[in-house]
Amino acid sequence: MSLLIEQTLNGVQLALLLFLVAAGLTLVFGIMDFMNLSHGSLFMMGAYFAATFVALTGSFIVGGLLAIACTALLGLAIEAIWLRPLFGRGHLDQVLGTFGLVLFFNDFVRLVWGAAGRTLAVPQFLAGHITLGPALTYPVYRLVLIGVGLVVAAGLYLLVQRTKTGMIIRAAASDRDMAGAIGANVTLVSTFVFGLGAALAGLAGLFAAPLLTVQIGMGDNILILALVIIVIGGLGSIRGAFLAALIVGLIDALGRAYLPELLRLVLSPVAASTAAGALSSVAIYILLAFVLLVKPQGLFPARGAR
């Protein structure tokens, strides 16, 4: 029982981390019809900024806020310099142009921080475990991550559904030209959304830094998982991204915990552990294939999606 709770918490934590990355991707896609492969690089830059600034300032919070601000500024700079010419171009051009950016950032990091990875320790005040029940303790840091993730998700939901900015975001997502024609400043809102997405990627990078090694290419896997999530959830849908992130996170965590035992019922122990390892990495993609068979537009398509 305690294993189940622990693995569920791990799954939720992974889900929220992925959601922070996927939210920016899906909002930008919804509003600008733009596929940004370099979003994973922003996640990586967020983690590197965090490792640097936390070490410099000696404070996780000050350094973390600096890292998020820098990632947001970097995102805005990228949008203005590199991505704006690609808006309105075909998806093939966008994929190639932003892939060029991925290559650029990988070598940029190698130049500035070196090829060896960095580590960032869990901050002192969040270290330690908390007792959740008999025979179940859980790291405080991961619980805080879950809490912050949920608050951000709720904030995003309120922003998109309850504010005037959110109204323009939704209007621009369903018909960009019409929203512009009736006087909404779509360009400004697009830039805001891009900066917001970059800040969320930076936040994810900050939170991921103590859990993973900060290294070149760390954004790639996260990016591809986030892409799978926004396809499962329905492109442009923030609610879809949240629910799909939960499904993917839970499948991954529970699959890793329980598949070996399940497979041991039908296979020899050695074969079971090998097969379970392969199967739990692949399970998410099997889910994707299944969703495509049943609902090619994703599970929760955004309203007014083309």
Distances in Å between the alpha carbon of 287 and those of 240, 247, 251, 293? 15, 10, 9, 10
Taking CB under 8 A as the criterion, the residue among 145, 235, 243, 302 binding other proteins is 235
* Site for other proteins contains 18 (CB under 8 A): no
Which structure tokens are listed for 189?
Answer: 């809102």
Indicate the residue among 120 and 232 with the shorter CB distance to other proteins: 232
- In 3D space, the residue among 241, 251, 284, 267 whose CA is nearest the CA of residue 28 turns out to be 241
Q: Shortest approach of other proteins to residue 59 CB, angstroms?
A: 32
- State the minimum distance, in angstroms, from the CB of residue 216 to other proteins: 11
Where helices occur in 2-126 by DSSP H, the ranges are: 2-32, 39-57, 60-78, 91-113
Would you call 184 helix, strand, or coil by DSSP? coil
Q: Does 95 bind other proteins (CB under 8 A)?
A: yes
Considering only 63, 64, 75, 97, the residue that binds other proteins (CB under 8 A) is 97
Cβ neighbourhood burial of 105 (10 Å; 0-12, 13-18, 19+)? buried
CA 279 to CA 143: how far, in whole Å? 28
Please choose, out of 120-128, 163-171, 191-199, 272-280, the segment that lies near other proteins by the rule CB under 8 A.
272-280
Our finding on whether 101 is near other proteins (CB under 8 A) is yes
Q: Does 85 contact other proteins by CB under 8 A? A: yes
User: Is 296 an interacting residue with respect to other proteins (CB under 8 A)?
Assistant: yes
Give the range of 9-17, 60-68, 80-88, 186-194 binding other proteins by CB under 8 A.
80-88
Question: Which of 5, 303, 306, 299 has the alpha carbon at shortest distance from 143?
Answer: 5
The residue type found at 60 is: F
Residue 114 interacts with other proteins (CB under 8 A)? no
User: Distance of alpha carbon 280 from its chain centroid, rounded?
Assistant: 20
Write the DSSP string, 100-152.
HHHHHHHHHHHHHH-SS-B--PPPGGG-SEEEEETTEEEEHHHHHHHHHHHHH
- Binding mask of the shown chain, residues 21 to 60, with x at each position contacting other proteins by CB under 8 A: --------x-----x-------------------------
- Minimum Å gap between C-beta 74 and other proteins is 15
| Interface with other proteins (CB under 8 A), residue from 165, 191, 215, 274 | 274
Residue 110, interface with other proteins (CB under 8 A)? yes
Query: Which pair of tokens denotes residue 157?
Result: 């939901």
Residue ranges binding other proteins (CB under 8 A): 29, 35, 82, 85-86, 89, 91-93, 95-97, 99-108, 110-111, 220, 224, 227-228, 230-231, 235, 274, 277-278, 281-282, 285-286, 288-289, 292-293, 296
